[in-house]
Structure 1
């Protein structure tokens, strides 16, 4: 049994494939990788307004392309965490492929906040997202506190660099109207895998959202995308409020990742299965000897 035991310890010493766990920060500062490029589908997974990544040229670290979906906007607005006053809020026109946005300066990165807006006399619709540029920059804490439009969904906080929201994790989101927190306001979560759930804000206007454990097996054409060793899929949070004869709808979309313990559990399950096989080896070896014995009266 020396060889099987050696194989067992070699197996246990191997790192479990797919583990890429970044602890989520509990303070309002963070970084993350950009959301994945989504495959085109015949039926959209949500009717909420979205800001999705478009095609980008390779090597352009300080630019990105975002395309609105489900909203009739003519431009996108980018808010930067720092920089010259004239660059803290910039409008970018929409072209056939979307809007090409830029970091506040080539040397300043971190999170930028992006919105697309559609306004009529009866309704205001807003799509929002966070985009991370790779260079160092100011914490997004102050940026997130700034009021940018009427009805807002504000992450509290955002994930840090190369991290992500993840399955089964709980994250806080602030809902406010004209800068004031909204209590008992419904917040709808939708994922690309079809999960729908609603939570309500507390008296401080904060809702705690638990991301569902709904990733499908790897390999299926489900819109998931691998980024930094972590499979990600899109989600959107949305809420609606009527005030002064007008309907306000706002949505925040980004991506969330597969739970890190999925592959870890699979690896340990295989290890225990191998241990069981090794434990049965002596019994398998003894059976032929016993079977060949001749008994005499």
Structure 2
């Protein structure tokens, strides 16, 4: 196991809270997220950067954050920071919130510096879109505002896939999400999303910097669209064939009386 792979066990990251929420009926519009791998007795700073760049400070309860609506639409940035004398860990996630439009774009949010080491989607998925398997996405990786050039980035999914990719000479990372769903049910809403996670780390002056990016991803619609399109094409071909046959002389000729 590489050092990068071994570090994942200690790096914090956001993921959906999977257990039953006792207050679910009282907070139907909330989203519960869990900060995984959080060490005991070390304070963590939580910051929510709104889509208009306003900042609020929600708090954890037993490593779980109940993300309340901000009444502002578009992406937000959820940042957890854990700092010790010899380490600086961050976990970043970009939840989409429903609400009123704001005079800011996702690019304004991505320009906001969340910390020294950053994994930045380039760009975020458009509204109502999502990360999907068998598609390639781009990320910029920066350290202290400079491209994090030719460095390893660990990628893992909640479906069990892992890989170590590398940024290029401009700090750009190209991620092709693996098609690792074992059971795919036709229809976008019938397949629960899985989680993809990216981890980066570096060290300077005896301080280890780490950051994680996490987001949901879903099966590629081609799993069921190709079948439906094939059936539609076959039906269209059959109808076209019948029309051609009916135009042939032996079918158009009326019987003589």
Q: TM-score over 0.5 for the alignment?
A: yes
Residue 228 of structure 1, CA deviation: 3.8
CA distance in 1, matches of 2:229, 2:109: 43
Q: Where in structure 2 are the equivalents of 1:68-217 lying within 5 Å?
A: 68-72=35-39, 74-82=44-52, 88-96=54-62, 98-104=64-70, 106=71, 108-135=72-99, 136-137=101-102, 138-217=104-183
Give unpaired runs (5+ residues) of structure 2.
1-7, 236-257
Residue 101 of structure 1, CA deviation: 3.3
1:288 alignment counterpart: none
1:52 alignment counterpart: 15
Q: 1:271–1:197: structure 2 CA closer, same or farther, 3 Å change rule?
A: same
Q: 1:161–1:230: structure 2 CA closer, same or farther, 3 Å change rule?
A: farther
CA distance in 2, matches of 1:120, 1:69: 17
Residue 65 of structure 1, CA deviation: 2.9
Would the aligned equivalents of 2:198 and 2:212 in 1 still touch at CA under 8 Å?
yes
CA distance in 2, matches of 1:124, 1:199: 22
- CA RMSD for the aligned pairs? 2.8
Residue 256 of structure 1, CA deviation: 1.0
Q: 1:204–1:267: structure 2 CA closer, same or farther, 3 Å change rule?
A: same
2:211 alignment counterpart: 250
3-state SS in 1 of match to 2:180: coil
Q: Report the TM-score, using the length of structure 1 for normalisation.
A: 0.65
3-state SS in 1 of match to 2:225: helix
- In the alignment, does 2:170 pair up with 1:237? no
Residue 272 of structure 1, CA deviation: 9.7
CA distance in 1, matches of 2:90, 2:162: 20
1:67 alignment counterpart: 34
Q: 1:90-126, CA deviations, whole angstroms, 9 ceiling, x for partnerless residues?
A: 222211372233444x2x2211100112211111111
- In the alignment, does 2:221 pair up with 1:260? yes
Residue 227 of structure 1, CA deviation: 6.5
CA distance in 1, matches of 2:233, 2:144: 56
Residue 76 of structure 1, CA deviation: 1.9
How many residues align? The count is: 217
Would the aligned equivalents of 1:74 and 1:93 in 2 still touch at CA under 8 Å?
no
Residue 191 of structure 1, CA deviation: 0.8
Q: Report the TM-score, using the length of structure 2 for normalisation.
A: 0.74
